Structure 1
């Protein structure tokens, strides 16, 4: 069989896998850091008050732009994959995509209307070139170790979520606490570092990912080899190999059919899963008890510090392992990677110190409001709580700002207050040192945290004798996702129909995110692996693009179905709304498992 030379890959190993996998791991990590970091800021920036640099858009306007952006981000990979397959090769496509995204983040940091939209356009185009093609290279690292491919993609997926975790945590924090342009700029800095790191390490892949050549003969040889490999797996595979004698074209068509069917089922998965950015966020904001006092508040601060430091320490350990294996051959790439982690540790240290210095202050002020009965304006005394790391004394006069025009107040220091016309003067009534409010956005990091913690376990399972077939993995993932929504449905049962607020325990959201993450580990990285395994060699990039196209459709469906939360909740309650997202994934999971024999037969030996 003809094969792509992978001498560096064969010589350099990290934790039993090709060292090139971890170059891709960190490249993808910084790309996801930039993507999720910017995404965490996008809506907040658009709806925030002009006094703190926002554009004061309505929620509807901001979410509409958000939906268009996230949808297009998953459409352009179809074209980026095709361009890489036919013209540039995967490696050059990744560099081009990373450069465009770096320019996009830099453009958004200027915060003018033109540079903002230009930045979004560059991010959409850059992601199209980057996203499908880095996934394609991962698969080709395992041409001689196909049994390790699922495990390799799971490790790669850990890098994706490490970037998402750090991006949401740090870009969001810097954007809100320091300034929007700093948050957008920070996302760009790490995208740039990821690009440089990949560029100077790309020789580790030898011929993998270079400009495309005629892959037909290689593909036919791979197909025939897979037929022979089928005898290693099961009696059914032996029978299939002995009796069908399918032509390479027939096998290609069958495998493409399997990709199409699995992509169809991912729509049901992501349609429900992406409620994390919609209905689950609303549940966190409006229906979850997020106020902690006394020892609970102190414990949360400590735990939050731990869950920030431990994943970063784990990833730093992976970095050290990569250094040991590759520094002699790829020193410059490693220097940039080391620099990026030095910056990250510095920002994390600053953030932790700021959190431990933050206190809650009860304040009072008079504000003009509209009387709902008389529709006339009148002054009303308001008491609320703000949080800041600035030292403020009781009875001190301060300035605050309603950052969302909905009663969310933020402390303004003297310099900022002098530039804000809509500031409100208030008086400090009491210092509440042992009270904190868990941000609604905080729950968003749980998914990435659980990925980092559980990805190594799933990777080991996929390498063991207990590794199930693709349809079974997908079925398990969908059922786990549905059970997560079942937890939310159960937790919402006590909420009256039509209620706008409630105080449900945080444990329900935490358990839901855990189950959703376990389901994701059984679907998403495994799906990437099977697209790589089943795609013809000359269509790998395109098929990854199609795979992400299904995700684009799912994102649109998630927004459309989630928009009915108020109408459905008024009719059958919030519990009924979440039960819908319990039933659909579970039903889809049972159906794909029922198709197990049909699909595995058409995979022709791929397991």
Structure 2
């Protein structure tokens, strides 16, 4: 069976989709693998940044990651073609991940600049190629993007389980090195001949599935790893069968005018070489924007204000229906920006909260009153945080130093305050909790898709503004769970991991309400003459929300001593600060949801869905 363009299909979808599924999966594996470690690396690694400095850099980096696809997409549309842009982006990101293994501050910022630039070329254009596999009127297109979205989240789920675990357990550079391999694998899958692609996809799926069985340290983690391994191997087998029928069509992602690449600018510079020169010149600019994050903030603010003013002027000039629709886009853009500013705490403040205040140890035993006065050989873990050894408080910075020096076991002088302290057992690395959101996406994604279809068939599908309200409300519930856990911590300031997982679950269901409809809403409501510009403004708002996320995260900063080993207070001194900020985020998100819900009838009328 073939599509109208004579493409081979499997399960009703072009076989090229399965190549793109794995190319994007491995690229997301590399991106989220690095992201899971980034804040920890800046604070605990050789850089020894304070929380505030690390959060500012993280915010600037993620903001620029969302800003550059606008430029990468424009260059692909007008000159390069999506296919070449994806290859350029993949190579830049692979170099960036590899550069992360170099312990030098300039190399670190250069690596982030390469990753930002590479993402700008890769991210928008591989999605464009997915869309190009389907006829414009094809009803299979949305299903194809759903499959593609599953690939994104499978990669995002695997990366903390492998890159995060290996990076925190064996060394940062091993985690970043694994991310490099993942990016190279995604690129190889994209450019290799069909038969080699089949071998790469199935072989890497099997090897990675087996690796997931070994890189874990407790039965709960093993169960999660088995689930992801089975999903990966099943996807690998399906892709292997699909590619047996053919691969990515030759015309997919080709430039509209291939001859334009060789045309000259100003009479002497080829256009393709101008792009490469532009990349080289952009890298130092990006380095400055990351290092001086406040400059990135001002740039985003100025561009954002300019875009906002321009859209308002265009709306006021437009006819009534267009004006109403643009106002809806602007209002929902604001609520979307709030959502992502809160949601993106996952890679920064929530990551540190998991590291410092979430009990991640499955202990084997506990210190009893009979042990008081004894000196016990203890294998150090998070269980000792907040307790005293010989009158000296044991905090996270001491645990980090001990692990860096290879001192896993110490002689612990037990006093009355140590009774009840856990000993032995397995500790889950904090970065592994970055896998919770994509795993919930994999579990609930199709459920929500089916739910919206079920309600739509009965004429009860919530409007886009109501879905935005539901997304913000559930995000608020997620931070309420985190606030409740922090305010009900144990005597040493540690919180049950149940509250963290519950918080992530609500954030994920909120994401599934809001995220899929945002881009679709922009396309439907924007006037045809300015769809791309409005879409660019939407991504700019998302970029700014990531910068805001870094600013919000900085409110939870507790470490000090930049340039030295970071001094982290005991858990009992940090849990209240995290709880306070999470509570304020929860309240803001819930109030915003109520305001959006109140505005929903008006916004729905302004959408003019029947016209």
TM-score interval, smaller chain? 0.5 to 0.7
Secondary structure of the residue aligned to 1:204 is coil
Instruction: Please give the alpha-carbon distance, in whole angstroms, between the structure 1 residues aligned to 2:87 and 2:473.
Output: 38
The partner residue of 1:209 within 246, 253, 270 is 253
Contact 1:80 1:545 in 2 (8 A): no
Asked if 1:32 is matched to 2:28, the reply is: yes
The match for 1:362 among 378, 382, 385 is 378
Residue aligning to 2:472 = 478
User: Displacement, 1:29?
Assistant: 1.4
* Cα separation, 1, equivalents of 2:15 and 2:531: 22
Residue of 449, 453, 467 corresponding to 1:459: 449
CA distance in 1: counterparts of 2:522 and 2:93, whole angstroms: 25
d(CA) in 2 for partners of 1:12, 1:538:
35
The structure-2 alpha-carbon separation of the partners of 1:211 and 1:117, relative to structure 1 and needing over 3 Å to count, comes to: same
What displacement does 1:463 show? 4.6
Query: How far apart are residue 260 of structure 1 and its match?
Result: 4.7
Cα distance in 1 for partners of 2:499, 2:347 equals 16
Is this contact kept in 2: 1:132–1:541, CA < 8 A?
A: no
The change in CA–CA distance for 1:536 and 1:180 in structure 2 (over 3 A counts) is farther
Match of 1:308 in 2: none
Equivalence for 1:441? 431
| 1:188 is the counterpart of 2:195 | no
Of residues 160-169 and 573-582 in structure 1, the stretch that sits farther from structure 2 once superposed is: 573-582
- Distance in 2, Cα, partners of 1:452 & 1:212: 36
- In the superposition, relative to structure 1, how do residues 276 and 113 fare at CA in structure 2: closer, same or farther (>3 Å)? closer
Distance 2:127 2:482 in 1: 33
Change (3 A) 1:532 1:195: farther
1:508 is aligned to 499
Query: 1:125 deviation in Å?
Result: 0.6
RMSD: 4.3
Whether the 8 Å CA contact 1:278–1:562 is kept in 2: the answer is yes
Residues 1:518 and 2:525 aligned together: no
Instruction: Write the distance in 2 (CA, Å) between the matches of 1:508 and 1:48.
Output: 25
1:371-397 superposed Cα distances (whole Å, 9 cap, x missing partner): xxxxxxxx966697xxxxxxxxxxxxx
- 8 A Cα contact 2:56 2:551, kept in partner: no
- Partners of 1:264 and 1:406 lie apart in 2 by 43
Unpaired segments ≥5 residues, structure 1: 1-5, 214-247, 297-359, 365-378, 385-401, 418-422
Match of 1:112 in 2: 104
The reply to whether residue 580 of structure 1 matches residue 587 of structure 2 is yes
Instruction: Note closer, same or farther for the CA distance 1:287–1:196 as it changes in structure 2 (3 Å cut).
Output: closer
The 5 A counterparts of 1:375-386 are none
**Kindly tell me: are residues 576 and 427 of structure 1, through their superposed partners in 2, closer, same or farther at Cα, counting changes over 3 Å?**
closer
1:174 Cα shift? 2.1
SS at match of 2:426: strand
Paired residues of 1:471 and 1:599 also in contact (CA < 8 A)? no
2:164 equivalent in structure 1? 172
Aligned runs of 1:239-250 on 2, under 5 Å? none
Distance 1:580 1:486 in 2: 8
Shift of residue 196 of structure 1? 2.3
Task: Summarize deviations over 1:326-358 as a string: whole Å, max 9, x none.
Answer: xxxxxxxxxxxxxxxxxxxxxxxxxxxxxxxxx
Structure 2 gap ranges (5+): 195-245, 258-317, 367-375, 381-388, 415-420, 559-574
**CA deviation string 1:160-208 (max 9, x = no partner):** 2221121222112222333322222211111122122223479735645
Deviation string for 1:466-496 (max 9, x for gaps)? Answer: 5544334333222222222233334444469
Q: What is the Cα deviation at residue 115 of structure 1? A: 3.1
Shift of 1:37: 1.1
Contact 1:476/1:522 (8 A) holds in 2: yes
Find the partner of 1:93 among 61, 85, 90.
Answer: 85
Over residues 285-317 of structure 1, what are the superposed CA-to-partner deviations in whole Å (9 max), with x where a residue is unaligned? 444333333499xxxxxxxxxxxxxxxxxxxxx
Report the Cα distance in structure 1 between the residues aligned to 2:493 and 2:345, rounded to whole angstroms.
19
The alpha-carbon distance between structure 1 residues 61 and 266, as it changes in their structure 2 partners (threshold 3 A), is same
Following superposition, the deviation at residue 558 of structure 1 comes to: 1.8
Q: Are the equivalent residues in 2 in contact too, given 1:132–1:544 (CA < 8 A)? A: no
CA distance in 1, matches of 2:150, 2:441: 6
After TM superposition, give the deviation of residue 530 of structure 1 in Å: 4.5
Provide the C-alpha distance between the structure 1 equivalents of 2:70 and 2:379, rounded to a whole number of angstroms: 53
Task: Give the 3 Å change call, closer, same or farther, for CA 198–187 of structure 1 in structure 2.
Answer: same
Equivalent residues in 2 for 1:61-460 (5 A)?
61-145=53-137, 147-200=139-192, 204-205=248-249, 207-212=251-256, 260-294=330-364, 362=378, 405-411=397-403, 426-427=410-411, 435-460=425-450
Q: Which has the higher contact order (CA 8 A, sep 6+)?
A: 1
Distance 1:474 1:604 in 2: 21
CA contact (8 A) 2:477 2:506 kept: yes
User: For 1:441 and 1:181, how far apart are their aligned partners in 2?
Assistant: 15
Structure 1 residues 388-434: Cα deviation after superposition (integer angstroms, max 9, x where no partner): xxxxxxxxxxxxxx9x744435446xxx76xxxxx799448999885
TM-score, with length taken from structure 1:
0.64
Change (3 A) 1:261 1:287: same
Q: 1:552-602 deviations in whole A, cap 9, x for unaligned?
A: 11111122233335899679946743432442442354156334523542x
Secondary structure (helix, strand or coil) at the match of 1:502 reads: coil
Query: Which residue number corresponds to residue 313 of structure 2?
Result: none
Q: Are residues 383 and 115 of structure 1, via their aligned partners in 2, closer, same or farther at CA, if it must alter by over 3 Å?
A: closer
> What is the match of residue 489 of structure 1?
483
TM normalised by structure 2 equals: 0.63
- Tell me if structure 2 keeps the 8 A contact 1:265–1:588: no
In 2, Cα distance between equivalents of 1:143 and 1:534: 22
Q: Any conservation in 1 of the 2:522–2:535 contact (CA below 8 Å)?
A: yes
Tell me, in whole angstroms, the C-alpha distance in 2 between the residues paired with 1:144 and 1:445. 35
User: Distance in 2 between the 1:48 and 1:561 partners?
Assistant: 21
